[in-house]
Amino acid sequence: CVELSIPGRMYGLHDISMFNIVRCLELTLDAHPEGFASYGELERALEDTIARYVGLMARGCDTCDLAHRMNSPTPLLSCLVSDCLARGLDVTQGGARYNPSGVQGVGTANLADSLVTLRRGVLGDDGRGGHVTPLASWERLKGALGRDWSGEGDELLRQTILNRMPKYGNDVDEVDLLGRHFLEFYAHEVERYENVRGGHFQPGSYTVSAHVPLGAACGATPDGRHAHEQLADGGLSPMTGRDAHGPTASLMSVSKLNNALESNGSLLNVKFSPSALAGEAGLAKLMGYVRAFSRLGIQHIQFNVVDRATLVDAQEHPERHRDLVVRVAGYSALFVELSRTLQDDIINRTEHVL
């Protein structure tokens, strides 16, 4: 589990909604085909979109909550949760002492990477009041996104974005602080709403496996991602393959986010090569890494210690690897029982060698 909870005292619908922050960016860009004159205009428009859809999300979640109350009361569970018996109320009616509803914000890494591309690569704004040479105009980028990077010269532009624009997960303030700003904004918007059980909505950032279907709901994005490709796994993890400066740099990027605001929990996925953690020296490295994670104030981290070759062989020959357990994003599973898409996700995650 990833979510923060108080056993026996809380009825927290911790995953009542998965909120697609990247889709909010897509909707904002679609609503302004002419582009934006400044990054400030883009930022304000995106904030308006997020605020609007968080409000719609809260209404939808309340509808679901009321349906649970009317059609799926849980008397046995209610007997085991503090205050339900004293109040004479089922947990679905707000009988528990604490009654939050958790909403996961998905896509922080993709949003940050996309915004730095738009600010630096299209608007020519270096984020410090200076000017840099843009990579493309609004018209050029919008055209490439609409074609899913398939037109003449689009792949060159995509590769330039992938290789020249800074990426979240590499300890680069310019992009990491964009992620911080919008994760904070999302969290504060979520906290504004009270649910029908008398509790508040709580922001979180872990994906379970929703980064795959939520990615499928999005077209191509300015970070170089293809249409319908998965979003970054975990919740706070970098986008697959873009954390190029080692696991410590990823820790530093995550530490710049306001992790305390993610009161419903958050998650960083890390994959290590088994050779990196072999023997006493490897164990010492892992201990140091976990200590750094703790000191940086990050809520939750989870590991896969498995090499790409083993995962690929398990995908091709599942009968040889029936007992291979992997961590997905908030839960563990037998690798051979996962969908092909999730298997590919885990295979393609950056394999750190320390």
For residue 167, what pLDDT is reported? 98
Strands (E), the chain: 13-20, 101-106, 201-204, 268-272, 301-305, 325-327, 332-334, 351-352
d(C-alpha 132, C-alpha 222), whole Å:
18
For residue 183, what pLDDT is reported? 96
Q: Which residues contact 50 (CB under 8 A, 6 or more apart)?
A: 21, 24, 182, 185, 186, 189
pLDDT digits (tens, 9 = 90+) for 52-90: 999 999 999 999 999 999 999 999 999 999 999 999 999
For residue 4, what pLDDT is reported? 83
Name the burial class of residue 100, with classes exposed (0-12), middle (13-18) and buried (19+) by CB atoms within 10 angstroms of its CB: buried
Residue 123 has pLDDT above 80, yes or no: yes
- The amino acid occupying position 123 is L
| Confidence band for 330, pLDDT divided at 50, 70 and 90 | confident
Mean pLDDT for the stretch of residues 105-113: 97
Percent share of the chain, pLDDT over 70: 99
For residue 94, what pLDDT is reported? 96
- The β-bridge relationship of strands 325-327 and 332-334 is antiparallel
Mean pLDDT for the stretch of residues 90-117: 97
**C-alpha 80 chain-centroid distance:** 33
Residue 129 has pLDDT above 90, yes or no: no
The DSSP result for 301-339, as a single string, is EEEEE--HHHHHHHHH-GGG-TT-EEE-SSSEEEGGGS-
d(C-alpha 220, C-alpha 146), whole Å:
7
Length of the chain in residues, anyone? 354
d(C-alpha 41, C-alpha 47), whole Å:
10
pLDDT digits (tens, 9 = 90+) for 22-38: 999 999 999 999 999 99
Mean pLDDT for the stretch of residues 298-312: 94
Residue 354 has pLDDT above 80, yes or no: no
- Mean pLDDT, all residues of the chain: 95
Mean pLDDT for the stretch of residues 174-179: 97
For residue 329, what pLDDT is reported? 84
Nearest partner of 166 among 128, 210, 219, 211, judged by Cα: 128
- The β-bridge relationship of strands 325-327 and 301-305 is unpaired
Mean pLDDT for the stretch of residues 46-50: 98
pLDDT digits (tens, 9 = 90+) for 240-298: 999 999 999 999 999 999 999 999 999 999 999 999 999 999 999 999 999 999 999 99
For residue 54, what pLDDT is reported? 98
For residue 1, what pLDDT is reported? 67
The DSSP result for 258-317, as a single string, is -GGG-TT-B-EEEEE-GGGG-HHHHHHHHHHHHHHHHHTT---EEEEE--HHHHHHHHH-
For residue 2, what pLDDT is reported? 81
d(C-alpha 42, C-alpha 45), whole Å:
5
Q: Are 4 and 264 in contact (CB under 8 A)?
A: yes
Residue 18 has pLDDT above 90, yes or no: yes
Name the burial class of residue 334, with classes exposed (0-12), middle (13-18) and buried (19+) by CB atoms within 10 angstroms of its CB: middle
d(C-alpha 296, C-alpha 255), whole Å:
6
